[in-house]
Amino acid sequence: MNFYSLNNEAPMASFKEAVIKGIAPDRGLYFPESITPLPKTFFDTIESLSNTAIAFEAIRQFVSDEIPDDKLNAILKEVLDFEFPVITIEENVAVLELFHGPTMAFKDVGARFMAHCLGYFSKSTDNEVTVLVATSGDTGGAVANGFLGVKGVKVVILYPSGKVSDIQERQLTTLGKNITALEVDGTFDDCQKMVKTAFLDADLLKNMQLTSANSINVARWLPQMFYFLFAYKQLKSLGKELVFSVPSGNFGNICAGMVAQKLGMPVRHFVASTNVNDTVPQFMKTGEYKPKPSTATISNAMDVGDPSNFIRIRHLFNDNFDALNKNLSSFSFTDEETRGAIKKIYGMTGYIADPHGAVGYLGLKKYQKVYENNYGVFLETAHPVKFLDVVEDTLGIGLDIPYQIQKVMGKEKKAIKISNYSALKAHLLQHH
């Protein structure tokens, strides 16, 4: 299968080319030329399939030209070696936990899948690839962990100084080897802008092969559809219409859920739940897309003022606002409401949600207030311990530190401070 740029001014690319380039030469995001629904029998018998088998059937059409079936199967077995449980916490409300991987964040799946793909592709070439990635929190740790020690790949991570949690910072600054962390004097949007600028810098591109591991990269973005299929497998026997509420920052996760829907997964509706960075909730009210500078919140991985993947969501619905509106609602919530939700969930059920999951819960409850007779699933995208200060302060309790986090707690942070694009460019040219 080929992938085309959503700006329509770049040549078609194979899956391999799209992964290695990250972003098209015309600065557009790559998008698959077609999405063929899976046979009805796949969904009829999904309970009998392993997670690996489900993932294989879902992603095969997008990658099979470049990755043979046996290799794809082997990659998926390594990527999906942990659980994705759905836990009912109140009537018609469940949480899908996506934090049981090595860095305790949902991005482990996409980062590992992309790392394996790049590792496979780099075996057939001597060219070194530099993965350049901006993070608002969890992407950095997941990418660092997924790519650690992958031959032929260097990783450079940009993160906003003082705007990621202590544990998130440790996960991306303490690994060493082929991983370098750049601490940026600015916001996530500044980091993301620098990354996008680098991809269009002829000087850099002449000297090195750059790619991105943000959800703009098709190999990071597409595997996220697995989560929704795994949840459907677990909930199908209920016989109820499903609603997914997804905490949304760059909108890659919810967009991948909508790809699962296009593959034929039965789902009634999606809710994009955001913090006060409400560019998409405003768009769903007015039909006008007006990006703005991001605002710092306690759900920092969603502090995004111009979400990259929203254009893919619009494209999935042919930029037809009415069709999108039937499938997507979007609501925004303040830090105060988020803390209130963490307290409410814990008080009612004993379940400890992180600030992002709490925003997902709020969006789901807002939707269910108007539309009844459905089964709602909100996504818990990171373990609450990754936001230790916020969660402990809100609930007045101490959290146990899981092994995955304990591993990085005593390690020394190593980061290079930069404040502008020219400093990033100088670093890349000096170290390529």
Domain ranges in the chain are 83-102+221-401
Reduced to 3 states, what is the DSSP secondary structure of residue 31? strand
Within 8 A by CB and 6+ apart from 326, the residues are none
Angle between helices 69-79 and 51-63 (to 10 degrees): 130
> Do β-strands 2-5 and 30-32 pair in parallel, antiparallel, or remain unpaired?
antiparallel
Tell me: pLDDT of 248 over 70: yes
pLDDT for residue 117: 94
Q: Contact 376/329 with Cβ under 8 angstroms?
A: no
Distance (Å, whole) CA 305 – CA 291:
6
Query: Span 105-119, mean pLDDT?
Result: 93
- Sheet with 86-90, strands from edge to edge, namely 86-90, 93-97, 375-380, 242-247, 269-274, 328-332
Q: For 263-324, where are the E strands, in sequence order?
A: 269-274
Element (H, E) at 73: helix 69-79
Q: What angle do CA 266, 267, 270 make, to 5 degrees?
A: 155
User: Sign of the C-alpha dihedral, residues 76, 178, 172, 308?
Assistant: negative
* 296 exposure class (CB count in 10 Å sphere: 0-12, 13-18, 19+): middle
Q: What percent of the chain has pLDDT over 90?
A: 83
Is the model's pLDDT at 368 over the cut of 70?
yes
Mean pLDDT for the stretch of residues 210-227:
93
Q: Is the pLDDT of residue 249 over 90?
A: yes
Q: Is the pLDDT of residue 229 over 70?
A: yes
Would the pTM of this model clear 0.85, i.e. be above it? yes
Supply the DSSP string of 221-256, one letter for each residue. Answer: HGGGHHHHHHHHHHHGGG---EEEEEE-SSSHHHHH
d(CA 281, CA 223): 25
In this prediction, residue 307 carries a pLDDT of 94
63-95 per-position pLDDT tens digit = 999 999 999 999 999 999 999 999 999 999 999
Of 62, 22, 76, 425, nearest in space to 213 by CA: 22
Predicted pLDDT at 165 = 85
Q: Is the pLDDT of residue 140 over 90?
A: no
Q: How far is CA 114 from CA 100, 101, 265, 320, 425, in A?
A: 18, 15, 24, 31, 24
Q: Residue 376 in 3-state DSSP?
A: strand
Per-residue pLDDT of 300-333, as tens digits, reads 889 999 999 999 999 999 999 999 999 999 999 9
Backbone φ and ψ for 322, nearest 5 degrees, come out as -65, -45
Give CA separation, 298 vs 342, 389, 426, in Å: 12, 10, 33
Q: What is the CATH number of domain 83-102+221-401?
A: 3.40.50.1100
Residue 99, classified by CB atoms within 10 Å of its CB into exposed (0-12), middle (13-18) or buried (19+), is buried
Nearest to 325 by CA among 333, 313, 309: 313
Q: Which amino acid is at 15?
A: F
Output the six-digit token pair for 308: 């990259």
- Look at the block and give the residue holding tokens 């040549």: 11
- For 402-431, what is each residue's pLDDT tens digit? 988 888 888 889 999 999 999 999 999 998
CA atoms of 298 and 310, how far apart (whole Å): 22
Instruction: List 160's β-bridge partners, or say none.
Output: 184
| Per-residue model confidence as pLDDT tens digits over 17-56 | 999 988 898 989 999 999 999 999 999 999 999 999 999 9
Tokens 């962390």 -> residue: 181
Asked if 259 and 115 count as a contact pair (C-beta separation under 8 A), the reply is: no
Which letter does DSSP use for residue 287 in this model? S
Contact residues for 217 (Cβ-Cβ < 8 A; gap 6+): 18, 19, 22, 23, 114, 211
- pLDDT category at 136 given cuts 50, 70, 90 is confident
Give me the count of residues in the chain. 432
Give the pLDDT score at 122: 80
C-alpha distances in Å from residue 175, one per residue of 100, 145, 146, 181: 20, 8, 11, 9
Strand pairing class (2-5; 13-14): antiparallel
Q: What is the pLDDT of residue 213?
A: 87
Confidence of residue 138 (pLDDT cuts 50, 70, 90): confident
- Indicate the pLDDT class of residue 125, thresholds 50, 70 and 90: low
| 338: DSSP letter | H
**Structure tokens of 1?**
């299968």
pLDDT > 70: what percent of the chain? 99
**pLDDT for res 404:** 86
> What's the whole-number mean pLDDT along residues 113-119?
93
Tens digit of each residue's pLDDT (9 = 90 or more) over 154-167: 999 999 999 988 88
Res. 124 pLDDT band, cuts 50 70 90: low
The catalytic residues are 107
Q: Are residues 430 and 207 in contact, defined by beta-carbon separation less than 8 angstroms?
A: no
What local confidence, expressed as pLDDT, does residue 189 receive?
Answer: 86
Beta bridge partners of 363: none
